[in-house]
Amino acid sequence: MTAMTRARPLVIDSHRDSNVCLTCGARAFSVCHVIDTADLDKLAAAAVSVSVQPGHTFIQEGDPAEHFFNVTAGTAKLYKLLPDGRRQVTGFAGMGYFLGLAVSSSYAFSAEALEPVKICRFSRAKLRGLLDDFPALEKKLLEVASNELVVAQEQMLLLGRKTARERLASFLIARANLVPHCPGRGGVNVAERIHLPMTRSDIADYLGLTIETVSRTLSKFRAEKLIEIPNNAEIVLLKHDAVEDIATGMV
């Protein structure tokens, strides 16, 4: 299970101008938004912008944890492996996600880009400096970590006690709540389009199931007219509330 690095997996974007944070579309969704507009140049000076190609692993579990990351575009999967290759996806990191909170000396998980991903990279030292300059950033990180913890506990409940049907329903609801897809979400049974940048295999490894069970369960939901599957990367939630009831174990 050795690292397979390919040619030009990471591209360090060269534009180190001080406006990079000011114009960053992820700012509103990210820890950076606690930093005052006037101070954004200091933030920009500490960050290195990096592009990652789909399929490339930019964090390797066990490697020395030299950097922290902030995802500004795209989605990555975070995962842990057992020696024989069994995989557990612990989460999906989208725009605004802060990576590397594990304080220990080495990364506790690997991260692989699912789509073209852009990240802001900070060295440990630079981040330490930022935290000293901006106490609000430290508070924000604690808040983020606490919320992560709540999500992790919810996932433990899912992995330890929910049925395959409940797991898939929970996953769909969580994905639907992810981004308030523009307008039109006032009604009860409004159709919602869910984007899935990951494969069935990633979903299976996230939910503690096999790819076949994921596929079968989604087909079942479709047969029950709970969802539509226009293509592999998209699912339309036809009956949000019914699926939510399944997710919470109320059915």
Partner DNA sequence: TGCGAGGGTTGATCTGGGTCAAGGTGCCGC
Partner DNA sequence: GCGGCACCTTGACCCAGATCAACCCTCGCA
d(CA 32, CA 220): 42
Nearest CB to DNA, comparing residues 90 and 210: 210
Confirm or reject binding of residue 248 to DNA (CB under 7 A): no
Do the Cβ atoms of 218 and 203 come closer than 8 Å? no
- Token readout for 158 is 């899912």
In the list 11, 149, 190, 191, the residue contacting its own copies (rule: CB under 8 A) is 149
Element (H, E) at 73: strand 67-73
Q: How far is the CB of 4 from DNA (least distance, A)?
A: 13
Q: How many CA atoms lie within 13 A of 45 on its CB side?
A: 7
d(CA 70, CA 66): 14
Characterize 45-66 residue by residue with b for buried, 16 or more Cβ atoms within 10 angstroms of its Cβ, and e for exposed.
ebbebbbbeeebbbbbbeeebe
Instruction: Enumerate residues 86-115 that contact its own copies by CB under 8 A.
Output: 86-88, 90, 101-104, 108-109
Pick the binder of its own copies from 11, 28, 125, 152 (CB under 8 A). Answer: 152
- Which of DNA, its own copies, none does 191 bind, CB closer than 5 to 8 A by kind? none
Site for DNA in 113-172 (CB under 7 A): 163-165
Total of chain residues touching its own copies, rule CB under 8 A = 43
Stretch that binds DNA, among 115-123, 129-137, 197-205, 238-246 (CB under 7 A): 197-205
Tell me, what DSSP letter sits at residue 180? -
Under DSSP, the state recorded for 106 is: B
Complex with DNA: residue 123 or 213, whichever CB lies closer: 213
| Beta-bridge mates of residue 110 | 79
What is the SS3 assignment for 112? strand
* Binding mask of the shown chain, residues 187 to 206, with x at each position contacting its own copies by CB under 8 A: ------------------x-
Q: For residue 89, which of 75, 68, 73, 101 has the smallest C-alpha distance?
A: 75
* Structure tokens that stand for 56 in this block: 């490339």
Question: Which one, 207 or 218, has the nearer CB to its own copies?
Answer: 207
- Identify which of residues 9 and 208 has a Cβ nearer to DNA in the complex: 208
Which positions touch DNA (CB under 7 A)? 163-165, 199-201, 208-216, 218-219, 229, 231-232
Catalog residues that contact its own copies under the rule CB under 8 A: 80, 82-84, 86-88, 90, 101-104, 108-109, 131, 135, 138-139, 141-143, 145-150, 152-157, 159-162, 205, 207-208, 248-250
